[in-house]
Structure 1
Amino acid sequence: MTNLNRKFFGSGIDWLTILLWLALCIIGWFNIHAAVYDPEHPSLLSIDTNYGKQFIFIVSAVILAAVILIIDSRFYSSVAPIFYGITIILLIVVLIVGRNVGGNQAWIPLGSFRLQPSEFAKLASCLILAKYLNAHSNKNPNLQTLLVGSLLLLLPVGLIMLQPDTGSALAFFALIFVFYREGYVSGIFLLIGASAIALFILSLLFPQWTVILGVAVVCAILVYFTKRSRKAIITGVTLFGAATIFILGVDFAYNEILQSHQRNRIEVMLGKIDDPRGEGYNVNQSLIAIGSGQLLGKGYLQGTQTKYNFVPEQSTDFIFCTIGEEWGFLGSSIMVLTYLGLLLRLIHIAERQRSHFARIYGYGVVSILFFHFFINIGMTLGVVPVIGIPLPFISYGGSSLWSFTILLFILLKLDANRKGLFNIQSF
């Protein structure tokens, strides 16, 4: 095994990550079986059902993973611009010939299979961003590089928004953590972004004057504890002015930019409206399903919320409900810990890379997977708005499983060859 590993995969593949990936795929397969169980086709391998198709997707994902590990690691950097260009073309094609499902024209029909280009666009964006930033790694981080790198991401985001698929588009913004790790964005910028989100939510919950008064108090406290210097006072006044303008603009942005169903989902999440049969139906049924599982769950194939189709999209966006209902808090915790273990392992892998390309790409992988993990589970628990994104490796779907598998295994291939890695400086 050692000789085979070195011959085909490089200096050493990270088998722990592969085991975590395979465990999540199997967890997903069994819970898809539970979510859409058909008594007429009880077998997990029945290709007439989604769980039978998912098995085929998993087997093909294993084959894809093996192929990725065999290919020379330098191939992935060299092919990044080509792959990026292909995905941009596919994102344009889907707007012309795509199939509309659930209000999103996001799938290209290929016989009985549907290809979702936006899933592969995340992979292509991680590759092109890593290649571009790597080409400028011998320079100090500058605004021009940041702007060009951002434009490379905003192009697919704009095309995806035309579908419109807000959930997939938002996932690209998670790549800001790549810019942060490479020194293009400071921690203050991330703090400002988090503060803007908090102010947006507070402005929807409370009267504007109350929020502005609260900001004034916070700014005054900051000035007081920074020795009341002239610089501190100017900074405090500037922050207060910027926050006030932002707060006063929330109403316009909320009512004029967001669509009505998006506003309704946010208001349901914030508890401003109670709409258990409308926009709040999915989340309400999700919470009932998860809560009914209690500590140990109802047992495999015993979930009533799942069996009687009370939870919409229960094998895709709301797959976590099935886990919560049938496996309870304990089973859900094991799944979450497995996922967190994978994310922590990937951070460790990204940090030990010797090439800028591999490290940048590694943090892109972590950012995308964490965003999907946090948002998907958060929306099933009602703590974030429902935006409709899959739980990687667990939700039903060939496009998402393949794209996330390729995303992950390219990093494992780069990691396997880290001791003799390249450092391509051209773009």
Structure 2
Amino acid sequence: MRGSTDVQISRVDWLVVVIYFALVFIGWFNIYAAVYDSQAPQSMFDMSINSGQQLVRIGISVVLIILIMVADYRFFENLSLYIYMLFILILIATPFIGKEVNGQVLSIGIGSLRIQPGEFAKLATALALAKVMERPTFDMTKTNDQLKAFGILFLPVALILLQPDTGTAMVYFSMFLMFYREGFPQKYYILGIGFIALSLLSLGIENNLYLAIGIIAIMVILILMGKKTWQRIVAFSLIGLGMIAYSYSIDFVVSKLPEHQQNRIMVLFNPNIDPLGVGWNVTQSKIAIGSGGLMGKGYLEGTQTKFDFVPEQHTDFIFCTLGEEFGWTGSLVVIGLFVTLLIRLVIMAERQKNRFSRIYGYCVISILLFHFMINIAMTIGLFPVVGIPLPFFSYGGSSLWAFTILLFIFVKLDSSRSQQLGRIS
């Protein structure tokens, strides 16, 4: 038994572990910087401020890591569907027993100890997908199997949208990256990208008349080029009418969204529409990052940070603190750590000896990649503000613990791969 444990420890991917702790502690230092007050400085270990509270959460994360690493790797596979069903029940109960903040019911708990079930449900969904899709007969090109996978994925999405929490719900769609690896037909991705591009075009063009004029102009060009066959003109006309109808439908859907979500979409396409109102967060975020220059202003020297120009700077906008105080260089280091982590996880996923571990590994990659890309894009104005934290970096217990468990279950599965049955395909 001792020898078996030693072998597992020797197989732990320590590069992933090192990067994890590097990101966690860099994030912790930046959380302190985000709440630092030069007029009344406090120790970063002070439990009355965010950095002290986050240190406790980091300590709990270490305990969670130890528990995961000493557990039998089969535990996660055998209980995956039960874990999924448990969190589905919790998500159903959340609107009734949860705490409402800003019109959203996102957390449950007792007293000051609260968690966001939506964060942990990502982990449960990844485990359930891996369990269902691991069967040798499962084929992502078959409609029945596709419906099973979609059902597992979309059930928590629907429940989270009821809270409502659009940002967290969006994260689940990142698992289509895993579906792609497992053979989901490429044509659907091309179609999906086309709809996303058309949606962005529809939102970006203020008057749908311009879209219609553009389509007519393309038709005229085709005719002048000799493309006069009626079949092509009719086909293009139908496509054009479909595009216009879709554009109006997108406008209709957006008009039914809550006002704050409409404002976030407006700011994406026109950041200067209301720089002192709805555009404040993004405008100040870009100022903070841009003012850092090449090397930054220095640790605890960020003026945007000190004077609280950027709201939620210790959570969703934590990247602003990094950019302002450590500049382009510091930002590049952190981005490099995330990219290295993701590349390493891909290598780990591809070397697994069964489908469960590989599929779960790609779910981990998909979730981390989505959070990493969207959070940074959000802070520099390339994506609407949707409240997505930067993994291992942002302040908060639920996100840190959920990401930690998500990652280290995969580290555990990878370290035990020599003991797993070969069910890879």
**TM-score, normalised relative to structure 2:** 0.90
Could you tell me which amino acid in structure 2 is paired with residue 369 of structure 1? L
The equivalent of 1:57 in structure 2 is 57
8 A Cα contact 1:219 1:236, kept in partner: yes
The equivalent of 1:350 in structure 2 is 349
The equivalent of 1:35 in structure 2 is 34
Q: Matched residues in 2 for 1:133 and 1:379: separation?
A: 33
Q: Matched residues in 1 for 2:183 and 2:232: separation?
A: 25
The equivalent of 1:154 in structure 2 is 154
8 A Cα contact 2:271 2:283, kept in partner: no
8 A Cα contact 1:5 1:11, kept in partner: no
By how many angstroms is 1:229 displaced?
A: 12
Aligned residues: 420
Q: Matched residues in 2 for 1:417 and 1:229: separation?
A: 63
The equivalent of 2:109 in structure 1 is 109
8 A Cα contact 1:178 1:360, kept in partner: yes
**TM-score, normalised relative to structure 1:** 0.90
The equivalent of 1:383 in structure 2 is 382
- Structure 1 window deviating more from structure 2 (282-291 vs 237-246): it is 237-246
By how many angstroms is 1:237 displaced?
A: 7.3
8 A Cα contact 1:11 1:419, kept in partner: no
Instruction: Describe the superposition over 1:228-264 as per-residue Cα deviations: whole angstroms up to 9, x where unpaired.
Output: 99999998777556544423422222223x2222111
Q: 5 Å matches for 1:228-267?
A: 242-256=242-256, 258-267=257-266
Q: Matched residues in 2 for 1:218 and 1:7: separation?
A: 67
Q: Matched residues in 2 for 1:419 and 1:216: separation?
A: 62
Instruction: Describe the superposition over 1:55-108 as per-residue Cα deviations: whole angstroms up to 9, x where unpaired.
Output: 111122122112211211111111111111111122122211211223321011
The equivalent of 2:125 in structure 1 is 125
Relative distance call for 1:138 and 1:193 in structure 2 (3 A) is: closer
Instruction: Describe the superposition over 1:176-208 as per-residue Cα deviations: whole angstroms up to 9, x where unpaired.
Output: 111111112x22222222221221121223343
The equivalent of 1:300 in structure 2 is 299
By how many angstroms is 1:159 displaced?
A: 1.3
Q: Matched residues in 2 for 1:92 and 1:284: separation?
A: 37
Could you tell me which amino acid in structure 1 is paired with residue 409 of structure 2? I
Relative distance call for 1:134 and 1:241 in structure 2 (3 A) is: farther
SS of alignment partner, residue 114 of structure 1: strand
Does residue 1:395 correspond to 2:394, yes or no?
Answer: yes
Relative distance call for 1:128 and 1:228 in structure 2 (3 A) is: farther
Q: Matched residues in 2 for 1:26 and 1:124: separation?
A: 26
Relative distance call for 1:214 and 1:337 in structure 2 (3 A) is: farther
Could you tell me which amino acid in structure 2 is paired with residue 80 of structure 1? S
Relative distance call for 1:8 and 1:309 in structure 2 (3 A) is: farther
8 A Cα contact 2:23 2:337, kept in partner: yes
Q: Matched residues in 1 for 2:14 and 2:243: separation?
A: 48
SS of alignment partner, residue 134 of structure 2: helix
Gaps of 5+ in 1: none
Q: 5 Å matches for 1:83-94?
A: 83-94=83-94
By how many angstroms is 1:136 displaced?
A: 5.3
Could you tell me which amino acid in structure 2 is paired with residue 280 of structure 1? G
The equivalent of 1:180 in structure 2 is 180
Gaps of 5+ in 2: none
Q: Matched residues in 2 for 1:135 and 1:147: separation?
A: 15
By how many angstroms is 1:139 displaced?
A: 4.7
Could you tell me which amino acid in structure 1 is paired with residue 393 of structure 2? I
8 A Cα contact 2:273 2:279, kept in partner: yes
Instruction: Describe the superposition over 1:208-227 as per-residue Cα deviations: whole angstroms up to 9, x where unpaired.
Output: 344356567889999xxxx9
SS of alignment partner, residue 135 of structure 1: coil
By how many angstroms is 1:378 displaced?
A: 0.7
Relative distance call for 1:232 and 1:295 in structure 2 (3 A) is: same
Relative distance call for 1:313 and 1:144 in structure 2 (3 A) is: same
By how many angstroms is 1:126 displaced?
A: 0.4
- Structure 1 window deviating more from structure 2 (284-293 vs 239-248): it is 239-248
SS of alignment partner, residue 348 of structure 2: helix
Q: Matched residues in 1 for 2:41 and 2:253: separation?
A: 49
Instruction: Describe the superposition over 1:280-332 as per-residue Cα deviations: whole angstroms up to 9, x where unpaired.
Output: 11111111111111111111111111111111101100000100111111111
Could you tell me which amino acid in structure 2 is paired with residue 142 of structure 1? K
Relative distance call for 1:221 and 1:55 in structure 2 (3 A) is: farther
The equivalent of 1:415 in structure 2 is 414
SS of alignment partner, residue 394 of structure 1: coil
Q: Matched residues in 2 for 1:234 and 1:345: separation?
A: 50
Q: 5 Å matches for 1:128-143?
A: 128-135=128-135, 137=137, 139=139, 141-143=141-143
By how many angstroms is 1:160 displaced?
A: 0.9
Could you tell me which amino acid in structure 1 is paired with residue 8 of structure 2? F
Relative distance call for 1:220 and 1:78 in structure 2 (3 A) is: farther
Q: Matched residues in 2 for 1:159 and 1:180: separation?
A: 25
8 A Cα contact 2:138 2:145, kept in partner: no
The equivalent of 1:277 in structure 2 is 276
Could you tell me which amino acid in structure 1 is paired with residue 131 of structure 2? K
Does residue 1:339 correspond to 2:331, yes or no?
Answer: no
Could you tell me which amino acid in structure 2 is paired with residue 189 of structure 1? Y
Q: Matched residues in 2 for 1:231 and 1:77: separation?
A: 54
Q: Matched residues in 2 for 1:71 and 1:215: separation?
A: 60
Could you tell me which amino acid in structure 2 is paired with residue 102 of structure 1? N
8 A Cα contact 1:137 1:356, kept in partner: no
Instruction: Describe the superposition over 1:158-179 as per-residue Cα deviations: whole angstroms up to 9, x where unpaired.
Output: 1111111110011001111111
Q: Matched residues in 1 for 2:235 and 2:421: separation?
A: 45
